[in-house]
C-alpha cells in the first residue's frame, strides 16, 4: 500500500469512527440503544397525529404527513447546526493534543444527524402508502440528490458556526434563537401559499424554503421540483465555499482561543 | 543524514487576555480589533531554529514556562507559528498528555481503535495490533469496560500502550516516563528506550536531567523562548545545573 492510499484509507476510517462515536455515544447508556433513532420519529409521528387529528382538528388534508415531510429534513439540518456549536469547543483535548483534520469533527456531527434522518425515512414511506400510492420511481433519483445538496449546505453552515463559536461563545445562544426564527420563516408548519403575497419575499430569500419545498413535493406528490433543486444546489455551493474559507482562515488561530 | 524536523526562525505569540472580552469591552475596543494591533501579547517562542536528524534523540530542558511544551505543540502542528516555518517529514506520535483522545463512555477496545487511527494507523492495522496493545497495557478483563470505570493508572497505561504500538516514526515525549506503578514504569521506560535504540527519531522534554543524560544524543536548553545552549547532553545539563543550583 503506498503512502497516499494509506492516508486516504486512514482518513475514511477516522471519519467513519468519529461518526460512529457520534451516533453510538448518544445512546451508550440507554437500554434500547440505536433503536431510539427509529423510535423517536415514530413516537413523534404518533404524537403529532393525535395533536392534529384529535385536538386541533386542522382542516388541511393529510396535515400530519404534510408537516412530517418537511420536519424530518428540517430536523437533520437544525440538529446538525445546533450540535455544531460544540463540535470544536467540546473537543479541545483532541484538537490541542492530536493532529488530525479538524473539519472531521464537523463532518461527523452532520453525518451523525444524517443517520437519524435515514431512520425517519421508513415513516415517510409509511405515510406515503397510507395517504396514496406509496413512493414512486422519482424518489430513487431525487432522494440522493437532495441528500447531497442538504449535506453540502449544512456542512458549510456548520463549518462557520463551529469555528466562530470558538472565538465568540455567544454564537451558541444566537444559533438557538436564529434556528427557531428560521423554523417559522420556512414553510414547514404552513404551506407557502398561506403566506400573504406581501410577505412572501421573506420566504423567497430563505434558501431553506426551496430545499424543504423540494423534499415535500417529492414525498407528498412524487414530484421533482427542478427549479427548487437548482436554487438549493446553487446556494449550498455558496454556503460550503464560505464555510471552507472561514474555517481555514480562523482555524489558524484556533489554538489561541480554545 | 536527513533532517526529520526543521524549525526555522519560529516565533509564537499568545494573546494575553484577562478573560473573554465582554460585549461592552468588545464595542469599545472594536477600532483596535479592526486595525489588528495593541492587544497585549506574550511571545512564548522567540526566533527559534532547530533541526532534528533521522534517528536522533533530542532532549529539551528548561524551567517552567520556558516554551518547551509550546515548541512541542508547534512541531506537532496543533498550533501554528506566528512567524517562521516548520517542516516535519514524518508521521508524529505525540506522548504529551496521555489519553487525550479517550472518551470515558467508550470501552478500552473502542478507545484503542479511535486513538490508533488518530495516531496514524488504519482501522485494519489497529485491529492487527489490538491484542498486542491490550496485553501490553495489562488491563486484562477490564478492556471491554468503559474507560470511565478505570483507575487513573489503568487509563494512562492504556493510553501509553496505544501510542507505543502504533509503529512510531517520530516521537514527541513530554515528561511522561512515570506511568503507572513501579513495574509498569520500568516496562514503559524500556519500551521507549528500545524504540529510541532502534532509531526512532525522538524529541524528549523532561525535567529529569539524568534521563536526558542517559537517553539523548543532543540536548537543548530553552529559556524564555530562546535557545540558551545546544550541545552534548552532558555539557548542557552541567551548564543548566551551574546556572540554577549555584
pLDDT digits (tens, 9 = 90+) for A112-159: 999 999 999 999 999 999 887 788 889 999 999 999 999 999 999 999
Contact residues, chain A, for B92 at CB < 8 Å:
99
Mean pLDDT lowest among A8-12, B61-65, B130-134 = B61-65
Domain tally for chain A? 1
Residue A80: predicted pLDDT: 97
Q: Predicted confidence band at A211 (pLDDT cuts at 50, 70, 90)?
A: very high
Tell me, what's the pLDDT at B36?
57
Q: What pLDDT score does B98 carry?
A: 81
Distance CA A226, CA A214 (A): 8
Taking CA atoms, B1 is separated from B5, B6, B51, B55, in Å, by: 12, 13, 12, 9
Please give the pLDDT value at position B1.
55
A207-221 vs A63-89: helix axis angle to the nearest 10? 140
Q: So where are chain B's domains?
A: 3-90+206-245
Lowest mean pLDDT among A3-7, A237-241, B31-35: B31-35
- The reported pLDDT for the residue numbered A182 is 95
Q: Is A9 within 8 Å of B122 when comparing Cβ atoms?
A: yes
Could you tell me which residue, A5 or A243, shows the higher pLDDT?
A243
Please state, in angstroms and rounded to a whole number, the distance separating the CA atoms of residues B169 and A145.
43
Closest Cβ opposite residue A97 in set B15, B96, B122: B96
Residues 6+ apart with CB under 8 A from A144: none
Q: What is the pLDDT of residue B246?
A: 64
Domain that holds residue A81: 3-257
Which residues share a beta bridge with B226?
B223
Residue B38, pLDDT above cutoff 60: no
**Mean pLDDT (whole number) for A95-123:** 94
Residue positions counted in chain A: 258
Tell me what the mean pLDDT of segment A214-237 comes to.
Answer: 94
Q: Do A99 and B96 touch (CB under 8 A)?
A: no
Question: Which residues of chain A are within 8 Å of residue B123 when distances are taken between CB atoms?
Answer: 13, 16-17
Cβ-based neighbour number of residue B3 at 10 Å? 16
Q: Do B80 and A253 touch (CB under 8 A)?
A: yes
Q: Which residues of B touch A18 (CB under 8 A)?
A: 114
CATH architecture of B3-90+206-245: 3-Layer(aba) Sandwich (3.40)
Note the ipTM here: 0.84
Q: Say what percent of chain B tops pLDDT 90.
A: 43
Question: Residues A255, B3, B6, CA angle at the centre, nearest 5°?
Answer: 30
Average pLDDT for B133-144:
93
Q: Can you read off the three cell numbers belonging to residue A144? A: 440522493
| Mean pLDDT of chain A, nearest integer | 92
Mean pLDDT for chain B overall:
86
So what's the pLDDT on residue A136?
84
Q: Which of B15, B76, B82, B100 to mutate to test the interface with A (most CBs of A within 10 A)?
A: B100
- Point out which residues pair with B50 in neighbouring strands: B7
Q: So what's the pLDDT on residue B242?
A: 87
Q: Do B100 and A97 touch (CB under 8 A)?
A: yes
Q: Does A98 touch chain B (CB under 8 A)?
A: yes
- What is the percent of chain A where pLDDT is above 70? 100
Of B14, B76, B122, the CB nearest to A13: B122
**Chain B CB within 8 Å of residue A21 CB:** yes
A10 → closest Cβ in B20, B23, B121: B121
Backbone φ, ψ for residue A188 (5° rounding):
-110, -50
Quote the cell numbers at residue B163.
501510542
A6 inside 8 A of chain B by CB: yes
According to the model, what pLDDT value does residue A141 have? 92
φ, ψ (nearest 5 deg) of residue B82: -70, -45
Predicted local confidence at residue B12, as pLDDT: 92
- Chain A 199-218, CB below 8 Å of chain B: which residues? none
**The predicted structure's pLDDT at residue B41:** 82
Contact status of A54 with chain B (Cβ, < 8 Å): no
- DSSP for residue A55: I
Contacts of A208 (CB under 8 A, 6+ apart): A74, A77, A182, A186
Which chain B residues contact residue A170 at CB under 8 A?
Answer: 23
Query: For residues A48 and A40, what is the distance between their CA atoms, to the nearest angstrom?
Result: 12
pLDDT of residue B20 exceeding 70, the answer is: no
Q: Could you write out the DSSP letters of every residue in B133-158?
A: HHHHHT-GGGGGSBGGGS-HHHHHHH
Q: Which of A153, A118, A136, A154 is nearest to A231 (CA)?
A: A153
pLDDT of B2 above 70: yes
Is B123 in contact with A256 (Cβ distance < 8 A)? no
Buried b (16+ CB within 10 A) or exposed e, A151-160: bbbbbbbbbb
Chain B residues 125-184 with a CB less than 8 Å from chain A? 146
pLDDT at A230: 95
Q: Has residue A74 got a pLDDT over 90? A: yes
- Chain A residues within 8 A of B15 when measuring between CB atoms: 256
Residues A213 and B11: their CA atoms lie apart, in Å, by 52
Q: Do B100 and A93 touch (CB under 8 A)?
A: yes
A28/B105 Cβ within 8 A: yes
B235/B224 Cα distance (integer angstroms) = 20
| pLDDT for the residue numbered A21 | 93
Q: Cβ of B71 under 8 Å from any chain A Cβ?
A: no
Is 80 exceeded by the pLDDT of residue B177?
Answer: no
A13, A18, A19: best to mutate for the B interface, most B CBs within 10 A:
A13
Give yes or no for residue A188 having a pLDDT over 60: yes
Which residues does residue B60 pair with via DSSP β-bridges, in sequence order? B205, B220
Amino acid at each position: 500500500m503506498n503512502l497516499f492510499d494509506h492516508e486516504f484509507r486512514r482518513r475514511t476510517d477516522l471519519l467513519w469512527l468519529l461518526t460512529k462515536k457520534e451516533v453510538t455515544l448518544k445512546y451508550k447508556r440507554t437500554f434500547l440503544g440505536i433503536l431510539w433513532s427509529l423510535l423517536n420519529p415514530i413516537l413523534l409521528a404518533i404524537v403529532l397525529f393525535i395533536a392534529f387529528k384529535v385536538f386541533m382538528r386542522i382542516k388541511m388534508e393529510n396535515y400530519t404527513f404534510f408537516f412530517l415531510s418537511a420536519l424530518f429534513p428540517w430536523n437533520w439540518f437544525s440538529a446538525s447546526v445546533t450540535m455544531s456549536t460544540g463540535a470544536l469547543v467540546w473537543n479541545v483535548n483532541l484538537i490541542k493534543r492530536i493532529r488530525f483534520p479538524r473539519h472531521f469533527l464537523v463532518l461527523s456531527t452532520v453525518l451523525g444527524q444524517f443517520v437519524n434522518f435515514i431512520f425517519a425515512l421508513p415513516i415517510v414511506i409509511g405515510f406515503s402508502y397510507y395517504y396514496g400510492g406509496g413512493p414512486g420511481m422519482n424518489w430513487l433519483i431525487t432522494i440522493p440528490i437532495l441528500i447531497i445538496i442538504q449535506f453540502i449546505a449544512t456542512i458549510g453552515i456548520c463549518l462557520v458556526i463551529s469555528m466562530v463559536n470558538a472565538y465568540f461563545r455567544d454564537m451558541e445562544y444566537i444559533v438557538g434563537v436564529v434556528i427557531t426564527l428560521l423554523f417559522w420563516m420556512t414553510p414547514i408548519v404552513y404551506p407557502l401559499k398561506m403566506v400573504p403575497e406581501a410577505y412572501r419575499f421573506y420566504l423567497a430569500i430563505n434558501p431553506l424554503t426551496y430545499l424543504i419545498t423540494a423534499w415535500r413535493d417529492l414525498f407528498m406528490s412524487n414530484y421533482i421540483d427542478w427549479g427548487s433543486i437548482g436554487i438549493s444546489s446553487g446556494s449550498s455551493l455558496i454556503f460550503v465555499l464560505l464555510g471552507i474559507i472561514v474555517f481555514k482562515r480562523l482555524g489558524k488561530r484556533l489554538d489561541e482561543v480554545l | 543524514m536527513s533532517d526529520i524536523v526543521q524549525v526555522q526562525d519560529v516565533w509564537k505569540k499568545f494573546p494575553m487576555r484577562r478573560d473573554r472580552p465582554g460585549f461592552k469591552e468588545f464595542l469599545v475596543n472594536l477600532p483596535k480589533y479592526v486595525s489588528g494591533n495593541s492587544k497585549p501579547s506574550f511571545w512564548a517562542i522567540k526566533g527559534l531554529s532547530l533541526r532534528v536528524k533521522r534517528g536522533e534523540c533530542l532532549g529539551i530542558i528548561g524551567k517552567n514556562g520556558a516554551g518547551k511544551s509550546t515548541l512541542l505543540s508547534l512541531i506537532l502542528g496543533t498550533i501554528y507559528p506566528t512567524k517562521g516555518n516548520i517542516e516535519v517529514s514524518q508521521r508524529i506520535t505525540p506522548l504529551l498528555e496521555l489519553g487525550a483522545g479517550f472518551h470515558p463512555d467508550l470501552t478500552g477496545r473502542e478507545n484503542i481503535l479511535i486513538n490508533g487511527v488518530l495516531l496514524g494507523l488504519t482501522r485494519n492495522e489497529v485491529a492487527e495490533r489490538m491484542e498486542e496493545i491490550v496485553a501490553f497495557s495489562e488491563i486484562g478483563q477490564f478492556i471491554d469496560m468503559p474507560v470511565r470505570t478505570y483507575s487513573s493508572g489503568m487509563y494512562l497505561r492504556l493510553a501509553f500502550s496505544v501510542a507505543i504500538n502504533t509503529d512510531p516514526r517520530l516521537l514527541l515525549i513530554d515528561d511522561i516516563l512515570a506511568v503507572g506503578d513501579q513495574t509498569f514504569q520500568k516496562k514503559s521506560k524500556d519500551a521507549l528506550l528500545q524504540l529510541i535504540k532502534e532509531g526512532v527519531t525522538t524529541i524528549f522534554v523532561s525535567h529529569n536531567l539524568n534521563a536526558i543524560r542517559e537517553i539523548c544524543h543532543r540536548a537543548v536548553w530553552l529559556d524564555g523562548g530562546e535557545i540558551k545552549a545546544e550541545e552534548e547532553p552532558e555539557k548542557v545539563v552541567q551548564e543548566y545545573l551551574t546556572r540554577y543550583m549555584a
